[in-house]
Amino acid sequence: MTATVEPNPAAAKPHVDSAKKHEAEGRRDEAIASYQTALDHDRSCQTMFALARLLDQVGDDDEALALYEEICYRPTPPVNALINLATIYEDMGESERAQRCLRLVLDKYPTHPHARMYLRDVCAVQTLSYDAQADQQAARRNAILDTPITDFELSSRARNCLKKVEIRTLGDLLRVTEAELMAFKNFGDASINEIKAMLASRGLRLGQALEGGYEESYRQDYLTKLRDTVAQDVLDTPVTSLQLTIRARKAVQVLEIRSLGELACRTEAELMGIKNFGTTSLDEIKEQLATFGLALRTLE
């Protein structure tokens, strides 16, 4: 913390004048030394700002930062000090602090051109940084979810059961519930428990990807891909246009599916997991979708 200095402007003035003369002559080191001596007598905002600006120019960022912060913590900090401090914060990657400084300027001078321009730049950089971080996180997550089931230690029976229901990756497994797996033929307690134990050893569980809106995001990505090959009006066709039996229609209602595009984003595993939904109803839905050139999403 900076020691308190009893203001003595008269004693500081000769050193300030000397500093200005050195600066005009291009002798920055001498100017910095004179300003520092002046501050020993009077820590005025003007002298601190002049010294901070010079320190910034010669690359002494730490000292410049300390002076700018001392200035800006005062009740009415100069606009230029706030802008310069914001610039330093931005260089340090402290986007939120930079924004606070610039907003203080704009609170007093809403149309200040430099503050407005710098704030736009800082916000843009922060957005790009967040986007880059999100992309990296998504890449890591996808790499894990795309791990083939064959990479995990499971019995032949469990692997074969998963293969029959087109579950091939870890991500596929996290997108089905225990009830959905139990609805499939040949899926017994032993296989279910084996799979659950394998997931638990990795801190995972069946149906985990269905939580927190992840599955909805996944379906939206798949729907976007469908638009490359299927007309939008077909995808938007109400699911009520399908000629379905009561049981098949109830399954669609349970999943809150409203359009053919939404239905095409579902898998056989999701439909078969619905109570009383059997292969007859599944074949019925698949045939109806085929008349529109669509099919249920496969897990691959």
**Lowest-confidence range among 40-44, 131-135, 252-256, 260-264?**
131-135
- How many whole angstroms separate alpha carbon 93 and alpha carbon 168? 42
238 falls within a domain: yes
- Region 257-265: mean pLDDT is 87
Confirm whether 297 is domain-assigned.
Answer: no
| Domain with 80 in it | 9-130
Domain-ending residue, one of 130, 157, 184: 130
Count of residues for the chain?
Answer: 300
| Domain shared by 15 and 126, yes or no | yes
In this structure, the answer to whether residues 35 and 83 fall within a common structural domain is yes
pLDDT band at 33, cuts 50/70/90? very high
Asked if residue 108 belongs to a domain, the reply is yes
Q: What CATH number does residue 35 fall under?
A: 1.25.40.10
- pLDDT value for 18: 92
Whose CA is closest to 180, among 282, 261, 264? Answer: 282
In a domain, 299, yes or no: no
The pLDDT of residue 123 is 63
Query: For residue 295, is it within any domain?
Result: no
Q: Does 104 share its domain with 33?
A: yes
**Residues 259-280, mean pLDDT to the nearest whole number:** 79
Q: Does some domain include residue 76?
A: yes
Average pLDDT, the chain: 78
Q: Answer yes or no: is pLDDT of 115 > 80.
A: no
Model confidence at 20, pLDDT cuts 50, 70, 90, reads very high
In angstroms, the CA 27 to CA 17 distance is 14
- At residue 129, the pLDDT reads 44
| Mean pLDDT, residues 89-114 taken together | 78
Question: Coil, strand, or helix at residue 169?
Answer: strand
Q: What is the end-to-end Cα distance of the chain in Å, rounded?
A: 61
Span 211-227, mean pLDDT?
65
Residue 2, domain member (yes or no): no
Condensed to tens digits (0 to 9), the pLDDT of residues 120-172 reads 766 665 444 444 444 454 455 555 667 788 878 888 888 888 887 778 887 77
* Per-residue pLDDT at 137: 47
Same domain, residue pair 28 and 122: yes
Are 23 and 105 contained in the same domain?
Answer: yes
Give the pLDDT score at 144: 65
Mean pLDDT within 41-65? 86
Q: Please name the residue that has the structure tokens 């320190």.
A: 55
Q: What does the block give as tokens for 201?
A: 């050893």
